[in-house]
A and B are shown apart, each in its own frame.
Chain A
Amino acid sequence: MLKVDQLNLYYGAIHALHDISFHVNEGEIVTLIGANGAGKTSILYALSGLIPCKSGEIAFDGQDIRKVPAHQLVTLGLVQVPEGRRVFSRMTVMENLEMGAFTRKDRQEVDRDFYMVFDHFPRLKERRRQAAGTLSGGEQQMLAMGRALMARPKLMMMDEPSMGLSPILVQEIFAIIRGINADGTTVLLVEQNANMALSIAHRAYVLETGDIVKDGPASALLQDEDVKKAYLGT
């Protein structure tokens, strides 16, 4: 579904990503793990067209999307839940969800999707008239995910969904990610919490200072001695 080939990215003079290549198959959960500053968020930003990349190819559903402007990627089905939720805090929960469906023209389907989102996140339904800024961190994460779902993504990219959440919420969010995937959405997941990410993903790539150093089935990486030592801790 997504194929990234030899991607290079620079911030000014800093070479942030070196020849990154990876792919995501339809129906998978793929996770990118790695230390802070390894370039995980940069990859997602490049995929979403928010930062330009120097060279390389990004193909989504067989189409070259490197030159497609950021706001058109959503129509193609490539949607991101950014790090730190980034909900529109002065808008209500409902309005945030509407923004997620901004590019869609099928009004009736959109109305039906509100119920789909509320099914996944019953708590959002209770708070649908509240301003998003008044929600707690966990609820905001749910809203950000629900907002992305409203775009009917084929591939949903999630950046650090567990950041700053309590253990019980982390479990809940990860269960929901599995549910979304089970409903047919492909997921590309960037996570600091490598244990959790590997436990729900099918495959994983390990990123170190702008290079992919390892990849394989998530269950294998979970047992890999190097990965254990470098990312899972003792």
Chain B
Amino acid sequence: MNMKAKSYVLNIAALLIVYIVLSLLISTGTFNSYISGILATTGIAIMMTVSLNLTTGLLGQLALGHAGFMSVGAYVAALITKSLNMNFGFALPVALIAGGLAAALCGLLIGMPALRLKGDYLAIITLGFGEIIRVVIENLSVTGGASGLSRITRMSRAFSEDANVSSAVQFSIIFWMMVVMIASIFTLGRSRHGRAIISIRENEVAAEATGIPTTYYKLFAFTLAAFFAGIAGGLYAHQIGMLSAKTFGFNKSIEYLVMVVLGGMGSITGSIISSAVLVALPEFLRGFSEWRLVIYSLLLILMMLFRPSGLMGTKEFSLLASWTATATTLKRWLGIKKRPTKMPFTPHYDVWEDSVVLETKNLGISFGGLKAAEGIDIQLKNDEIVGLIGPNGAGKTTFFNLLTGVYMPTEGDIILLGKPINGKPTHLITEQGIARTFQNIRLFKSMSVLDNIKVAFHTRMEYSPLSGIVRDSRFSSEEKGIDIRARELLKVFNMEDVADVRADGLPYGQQRKLEICRALACNPKVLLLDEPAAGMNPIETDELMRTIRLIRSRFSVAILLIEHDMKLVMGICERIYVLNYGRVIAQGSPAAIRDNPEVVAAYLGTTEQAQTAEGDLAHAEG
């Protein structure tokens, strides 16, 4: 039995033991209804925290209205069980799912406008939406208005005449739903979809430029979190038996957020531990109840002062293992046979034979009447290395931003492989063949080098989020395939040894190289490099020149680069365009550009000046 299998068995065994022990204690009445109530509350808090961690930890967006989604789920589920004339055992699942879906719908509707904002603004707008949900529920007659809903069937009463047995059933439902929820967030986080979500947290601009449809994934994570919160809300309603909109205010959202942060943002096991402790702690402190909240808040402050990254940071306790094992066993029981292993999935690289790959026609943009670029006509042929130079503020980076769809051109066309691409979103342009690097390096810092590359393969993979959660054969064959491909690519650049290092742990030169490597992993026809030699000394620059030559010999791609280092530009570019005041003022071979008087005056400067400077110095020293 290998390590992996051992860890599956251990995890599953631990889960089962916890479950069996607790449910026995409840069903025999050793745990009274008060304690089993606390256990249920803890389970629901864990679901809320883990789902909020999906938005806050994995996606990296601060949301302050999570309790709002919980209330939608709670009310919808409660109204369904109250109105359905059905056995509670059947009605409950229907109600829970309906509650989850209703919350997800709210999440979708709120997320669409709100997720355009970032950081504190997103926090505030979600706070606003959360409060609006509360006020609306308080004012609807169907939800009982301000007095709320009562006499909701309680799980701890409904399943059996024996209260202990019924409580044990309630515990089982909550426990296993919690396990499924945690496990699916866990596996999802480690699929291509999870990588896409995490890459947005790490660097949204770079994620979009690497081909990730960021808007879609933000909405996806937000909606999924709302769905889970809705289900937790449904369970809550049927645990407590009555609902009042006030319960789900801003303070409730904050409570869950505190649990996420204390556990460590991005650590799901951290969330589990912290919510368990924070639910239990106030209960234990109940004895001296007036001090309870004082102690609670002091703990919170001290925790932040002395361990600001939370209990677990972003580390995890392994549970993934057990999930994979359960899935396999389930499949065996249900008679689902593993499909014969196909060849590992191979992402394809195109080889494009046509001569002109990228062309701009009369391209221009103005910001508030000010023309930042105008009348730019540029052609790039396959396998060509072309330089773009010009004074600071001449519009070079603006031009890159036009090509990659960060800015919308106000005039002219961009034609990639014969098709116009202006107006398309960045991630589609990347998918169609323009990849770039950035002036100030933008890596997915806390992800490994290998995962940085894997994010770039995203658009050429196909498995669905569901495949990612249950880890079917499609998932494994694609993941295996891109693992091989990503390592191959790293090998080309002599970076296979650092595959598992965190990206921000690399030295500067290697970070630049990784960024180029990631751009190549997008399978581009055109590679845009924005000041790749910035901050490099001459020796590092020489290494970079070798890398660029290597790209040209190994990949079928046209390279357009912005650079101020003339040794690099003159050394490897076949043609050069010179931009000044947003217009092309010269183009041609390096030799022709070097001698062009206009370029010398605007950009290169006279070599005589430099020589005179040296002469003066020699004179001064002599």
Report the bound CA distance from A192 to B539 in whole Å.
10
Interface size on B, residues (CB 8 A): 34
B539 in complex: contacting residue of A166, A174, A231, CB < 8 Å: A231
Q: Mark B38-77, 1 if CB is under 8 A from A, else 0.
A: 0000000000000000000000000000000000000000
A171 touches B605 (CB 8 A): yes
Q: Does A55 contact B (CB under 8 A)?
A: no
Stretch at the interface among B15-23, B116-124, B348-356, B610-618: B610-618
Report the bound CA distance from A7 to B391 in whole Å.
40
B542 touches A168 (CB 8 A): no
- Of all chain B residues, which has the CB nearest A222? B614
B605 in complex: contacting residue of A137, A167, A200, CB < 8 Å: A167
Q: Mark B529-552, 1 if CB is under 8 A from A, else 0.
A: 001001111111110000000000
Residues of B within 8 A of A169 (CB): 391-392
Stretch at the interface among A43-51, A69-77, A157-165: A157-165
Report the bound CA distance from A33 to B539 in whole Å.
12
Known: A137-B392, A171-B609, A231-B539. A164 touches B509 (CB 8 A): no
A35 touches B537 (CB 8 A): yes
Q: Does B621 contact A (CB under 8 A)?
A: yes
Report the bound CA distance from A233 to B564 in whole Å.
16
Report the bound CA distance from A194 to B538 in whole Å.
8
Residues of B within 8 A of A167 (CB): 564, 566, 603-605
Residues of B within 8 A of A166 (CB): 389-392, 564, 603
Q: Does B507 contact A (CB under 8 A)?
A: yes
Q: Does B602 contact A (CB under 8 A)?
A: yes
- Of all chain A residues, which has the CB nearest B541? A233
Interface contact tally, CB-CB below 8 A = 90
Least CB distance, A59 to chain B, in whole angstroms: 27
Report the bound CA distance from A164 to B509 in whole Å.
16
B535 in complex: contacting residue of A163, A165, A195, A202, CB < 8 Å: A163
- Of all chain B residues, which has the CB nearest A175? B613
Report the bound CA distance from A34 to B539 in whole Å.
10
Residues of A within 8 A of B566 (CB): 167
A164 touches B538 (CB 8 A): no
Interface size on A, residues (CB 8 A): 34
Residues of A within 8 A of B614 (CB): 199
Q: Does A37 contact B (CB under 8 A)?
A: yes
Q: Does B308 contact A (CB under 8 A)?
A: no
Known: A167-B564, A167-B566, A219-B621. A231 touches B392 (CB 8 A): no
Q: Does B393 contact A (CB under 8 A)?
A: yes
A118-165 contacts to B (CB < 8 Å): 136-138, 160, 163-165
Q: Does A108 contact B (CB under 8 A)?
A: no
Q: Mark B583-606, 1 if CB is under 8 A from A, else 0.
A: 000000000000000000011110
Report the bound CA distance from A174 to B531 in whole Å.
21
Report the bound CA distance from A35 to B613 in whole Å.
25
Least CB distance, B423 to chain A, in whole angstroms: 28
Report the bound CA distance from A170 to B507 in whole Å.
26
Known: A174-B613, A234-B542. A164 touches B536 (CB 8 A): no
Report the bound CA distance from A195 to B614 in whole Å.
11
Interface of A is mostly: helix
Residues of A within 8 A of B509 (CB): 36
Report the bound CA distance from A164 to B392 in whole Å.
8
Known: A165-B392, A171-B605, A233-B567. A202 touches B621 (CB 8 A): yes
Interface centre among B390, B439, B610 (most CB of A within 10 A): B610
Q: Does B508 contact A (CB under 8 A)?
A: yes
Q: Does A13 contact B (CB under 8 A)?
A: no
A192 touches B393 (CB 8 A): no
Residues of A within 8 A of B542 (CB): 233-234
Least CB distance, B510 to chain A, in whole angstroms: 10
A233 touches B539 (CB 8 A): yes
B392 touches A138 (CB 8 A): yes
- Of all chain A residues, which has the CB nearest B538? A233
A162-219 contacts to B (CB < 8 Å): 163-172, 174-175, 178, 192, 194-195, 199-200, 202, 219
Report the bound CA distance from A194 to B536 in whole Å.
11
Interface centre among A36, A165, A174, A202 (most CB of B within 10 A): A36
A194 touches B535 (CB 8 A): no
- Of all chain B residues, which has the CB nearest A195? B538
Task: Give residues in A with beta carbon < 8 Å to B.
Answer: 33-37, 136-138, 160, 163-172, 174-175, 178, 192, 194-195, 199-200, 202, 219, 230-234
Give 12 pairs: A residue, B residue, CB < 8 Å, sorted on A. Answer: A35-B537, A36-B537, A137-B393, A138-B393, A168-B605, A169-B391, A170-B564, A192-B535, A192-B537, A200-B617, A231-B539, A233-B567
